[in-house]
Structure 1
């Protein structure tokens, strides 16, 4: 609006000069200049009515930064030369806030993205919110506000580092009850057929698919799949209410690194923690990336505590078997099958994980 108050005296001066010097050309120019503001105002009003948008968030590969986008679509027949907005980012856990300013333009009938970078955000559940934006005309005479009320929640994971974790043969071949089966490895579970093939010398009689064999008039063998249970149990022996920030970051980074590496190697596992509110153990089966995302969403909503995990686990989940146990303690001590492996120093997490050799 500041430009508008400068524009009006200039336009009035042009009209005065046109009358004073009796100049038709100058009068025509002054008349056109006086008609521009209402045209720009109508244009902005139309664009504001037909403007749609949404927030998207994505991780920049190889960095800890996140790209914040506001995707706009201008369904009006007019060009929007300038649009500005603020994206408010809030950590749902500790309440920390961060603002990102976005600006750009949108062509008529087209889409555009306003992009900003959220540098190295702290681990946790974040909410991105845009409450309003401001639309400007070409000369900056008018500014119209548009209410958005767009929100998006996204998870910022702990840093994940390189480590030397290997899944042992015993754990790999350990057969526990499961409704998941390996897509390539054969086993002895008749509930899931891996593939059908012709009979070969040495095949067991109980592998023959008798119905298909009778239908095809030749022996057909059904290779069964190996069930993929959660053969590794990871106990999170941590009291979140008694950890300082530096220790907490290191704790989550190590846990995320180990769990992510097991996911990469198709080693299904349970992440187990003690929930203070209910006084019981909680667990999440981790088989794929989505499970790990759900785990972080869930654990951030509750305060965890410490207990005698192995005893509590055997009572809570009676009869369940597993091949290997990882105990990750609040003191940043790592135990594998009751054997102390390493104590992590918060300032040296990346180096220690790289040097770590862990077989589960």
Structure 2
């Protein structure tokens, strides 16, 4: 744009010399028109800016875990003047690991028309992202002037880690290791010891489920609905740390999703816990199906990672001790011999998955304690054949 202005200034000086040398009416008119041109262009670009509306939206690719997302920029020009140059600067920020990437998109918009521009933004890491149009510029036809539109509000999206099938052998039965019984608040079941709700009788209902006392009061047959028991057989404790390599964090997220998906596929209810800096406390999510697993992963990806450098403590095993139900499975990307010793001292069996970039680490296998190293670059391959 500076080069265009210098060229215009050079042409204006040359035209002025031409007018002085020849002093013809045509030369004078041409010089005056060239002199007034910036005023016209500035007014035109301001008019085009007021007539332009830009929106930004995102849509996932067919594979949600390809670490990229499609975006669409929609521009509408209500003016009778065509916009030959509109420039949008996109900023994609990963709120989980404090990384960001930017790209610039240029396009034109016809007079009284629309333009749809599509593209993709990608990231080297998983996490929670914000895509925003930080700068929107409209240029005149000669690129002498530009006018800025107001920045658009950011669009949020998540890039998920993949989940692979890891073992043909079940971890444990749905009831083993679970010492806490809970009931679903959303789905009914067949456990007569807990009442889920009461509804009107429908054709096909069994007579054994008729609530006779309530039916006599209501004047209609009312039927009992029993509750669905959910036993947490496993608790996954995820130790997040922003002080580690971002690729180790990717491996930890992929490991969490893989193990939780494996448990859901085996119909084993489980609990996932981690430290969330926003609440400054450990949080837990009970998972028994795909919907609850997806909700848990979305909350995990949107969590701000605690950092010891910022004075934020990592997840404390002592704090979450009361939250553990059934078998404890500890997921971490940090080497800590002291923590391993504290895990060994637990009464219940413990499995420690340690995400690392080192090769050939030996697994520690004891009657009540297992340490399984997982390679961050290839989590499914690291878990091949592991009966966890």
The normalised TM-score by structure 1 is 0.69
Q: Map of 1:1-360 to 2, 5 A cutoff? A: 1=1, 2-3=3-4, 6=7, 38-62=39-63, 63-148=66-151, 150-164=153-167, 170-171=174-175, 176-182=182-188, 186-188=190-192, 189-192=194-197, 196-198=201-203, 203=206, 205=208, 207-210=209-212, 222=223, 224-227=225-228, 229=230, 231-236=232-237, 238=239, 240=241, 243-260=244-261, 269-273=270-274, 281-286=282-287, 287=292, 289-298=294-303, 300=305, 303-307=313-317, 312-313=321-322, 324-330=326-332, 333-334=352-353, 340=370, 342-353=372-383, 355=385
Q: Secondary structure at the match of 1:180?
A: strand
Q: What per-residue deviation string (whole Å, max 9, x for no partner) do you get for residues 37-86 of structure 1?
A: 55443332112123333443443232222234444343444322211132
Q: Is the 8 A contact 1:208 1:221 kept in 2?
A: yes
Deviation at 1:242, TM superposition (A): 6.7
Q: Is the 8 A contact 2:91 2:131 kept in 1?
A: yes
Q: Is the 8 A contact 2:136 2:151 kept in 1?
A: yes
The farther-off stretch of 62-71 and 158-167 is 158-167
Distance 1:108 1:175 in 2: 66
Paired residue total: 340
Q: Is the 8 A contact 1:240 1:304 kept in 2?
A: yes
Distance 1:15 1:297 in 2: 65
Distance 2:263 2:245 in 1: 27
Deviation at 1:113, TM superposition (A): 4.0
Q: What per-residue deviation string (whole Å, max 9, x for no partner) do you get for residues 130-181 of structure 1?
A: 3322212333343333342643444433343344586976359x96233221
The farther-off stretch of 72-81 and 266-275 is 266-275
Q: Secondary structure at the match of 1:46?
A: helix
Distance 2:271 2:198 in 1: 26
CA RMSD of superposed structures (Å): 4.8
Q: Is the 8 A contact 2:87 2:136 kept in 1?
A: yes
Q: Is the 8 A contact 1:58 1:66 kept in 2?
A: yes
Distance 1:43 1:36 in 2: 10
Q: Secondary structure at the match of 1:56?
A: strand
Q: Is the 8 A contact 1:15 1:30 kept in 2?
A: no
Distance 1:262 1:195 in 2: 36
Distance 2:384 2:199 in 1: 37
Q: Is the 8 A contact 1:69 1:116 kept in 2?
A: yes
Q: Secondary structure at the match of 2:149?
A: strand
Q: Is the 8 A contact 2:277 2:304 kept in 1?
A: no
Distance 1:208 1:34 in 2: 92
Q: Secondary structure at the match of 2:182?
A: coil
Provide closer, same or farther for how the CA distance between residues 145 and 298 of structure 1 changes in structure 2, counting only shifts above 3 A.
Answer: closer
Q: Is the 8 A contact 1:100 1:116 kept in 2?
A: no
The normalised TM-score by structure 2 is 0.65
Distance 2:135 2:47 in 1: 17
Q: Is the 8 A contact 2:199 2:225 kept in 1?
A: yes
Provide closer, same or farther for how the CA distance between residues 329 and 110 of structure 1 changes in structure 2, counting only shifts above 3 A.
Answer: same
